[in-house]
Amino acid sequence: MRKMQGYRAGVNLGGWISQYGKHSYEHFDSFIREQDIKQIASWGMDHVRLPIDYPVLEDDDTPFKYKEDGFKYVDNCIEWCKKYGLNVILDLHRAPGFSFSTLEENRLFDDVFLQERFIKLWQYFAKRYIAEKGNVAFELLNEVVEPTSDRWNALAHRAVEAIREIDQDRIVIVGGNSYNSIFTLKEIQLFDDPNVVYTFHYYEPLLFTHQKASWVNICAEFNQGQEYPGRFVGLKEFLRKRPEYKGWESQLEVINDRKLMEKNLKVAEEFINSTGKELYCGEYGVISDAPLQSRINWHRDFVELTKKLNIGRACWSYKQMNFGLVDADGYVISDELVEIVSQK
């Protein structure tokens, strides 16, 4: 039986207890509520991926002392999901000493003490949720970015061993380097463990999925809407004026369409076939600045292709976060888009 059978179509709860603008209990209490989980279940989805930033659970000045007022949000999410028949992936989105958004400040892979905090936190998760056997999976760390995969491979193996001291059966999800790139799956040091599943994120090509994104320099400065399917209109002229973006010339001849997506996903297919391991896509999506019909077209192709490969997935993201399926008040932005991403 496939370990991820109950994780075929899901959505991320980004912006709740991860990537929040301010560490505020008022925000934590209001951003996601039971009614949101009920709505997700009503779409026909079977799981949510819950990104978690460690400061919600543990303060840097009191390491190894875990905060009940933070864990209650994780507890609530699990209970609501059980009530409405959804599974949950607990994703450590930001760990002590590491965040994909603060690369210049990261110290996790240099600091033995921070690594101990990372491992002990996962052991606490394992102890706390030992009774939640069939409906809760653990994802070790979101979007690792390292010069090579060596140090992450070593720490991931230590973390899985630590979890296995407490729980032999928990599904543990491990991704690769370079922001969980599909192209670094081959660099993951595989586990001799039937309950480890491998993951990637898919936002290809970035100039389309993140068009106009303020946090991606070239997308913000290029600042042009792009269609799917289509070519990158205006890119040649932009790069001629901005030589500092050398390397992006490779995108000039790209036709962003289903064939390109099939080519990229061939990497995932080869991973599955060569390893016999199960694969899951923890994030995929298109920014809300993109034309809505192009968002719909891209998502439809991605869902159809991953279904063919039997890859479960969770779109980014449920509410707001520049990629939302619903607006700030929880109202659906596009019924067609929701229907597509909810397909199992």
Q: Assess whether 283 carries a catalytic annotation.
A: yes
- Taking each helix axis from N to C end, the angle separating 258-275 and 292-308, rounded to the nearest 10 degrees, works out to 30
336 catalytic residue (yes or no): no
Give me 39's structure tokens: 């709505």
Is the pLDDT confidence value at 232 over 70?
yes
Q: How far is CA 216 from the centre of its chain?
A: 17
Domain boundaries, the chain: 9-215+257-342
Q: Is the Cβ–Cβ distance between 296 and 336 less than 8 Å? A: yes
Distance CA 238, CA 233 (A): 10
What's the whole-number mean pLDDT along residues 274-300?
97
Per-residue tokens: 186: 């081959």
Q: Is 189 left (phi over 0), alpha (psi -120 to 50) or beta?
A: beta
Render pLDDT for 55-109 as a digit per residue (tens, 0 to 9). 999 999 999 999 999 999 999 999 999 999 999 999 999 999 999 988 989 999 9
Superfamily name and number for 9-215+257-342: Glycosidases (3.20.20.80)
Element containing residue 200 per DSSP (H, E): strand 196-202
Q: What local confidence, expressed as pLDDT, does residue 1 receive? A: 56
As a whole number, mean pLDDT of residues 176-201 equals 97
Can you tell me the distance from the alpha carbon of 298 to that of 286, in angstroms, rounded to the nearest whole number?
8
DSSP class per residue in 72-132: HHHHHHHHHHHHTT-EEEEEEEEETTEETT-GGG--TTT-HHHHHHHHHHHHHHHHHTTT-
The predicted pLDDT at position 338 comes to: 98
Which residues does residue 200 pair with via DSSP β-bridges, in sequence order? 281
Of the candidates 58, 139, 143, 204, the residue annotated as catalytic is 143
pLDDT band at 133 (very low <50, low <70, confident <90, very high): confident
Contact 198, 270 (CB under 8 A): no
CB 136 within 8 A of CB 81: no
CA 214, CA 94: separation in Å to the nearest integer?
21
pLDDT tens for each residue of 135-177: 999 999 999 999 999 999 999 999 999 999 999 999 999 999 9
Question: Comparing C-alpha atoms, which of 31, 28, 78, 51 is closest to residue 282?
Answer: 51
**Of the listed 132, 146, 204, 283, which one is catalytic?**
283
- pLDDT averaged over every residue in the chain: 97
Question: Which pTM does this prediction carry?
Answer: 0.97
Percent of the chain with pLDDT over 90: 96
pLDDT digits (tens, 9 = 90+) for 252-270: 999 999 999 999 999 999 9
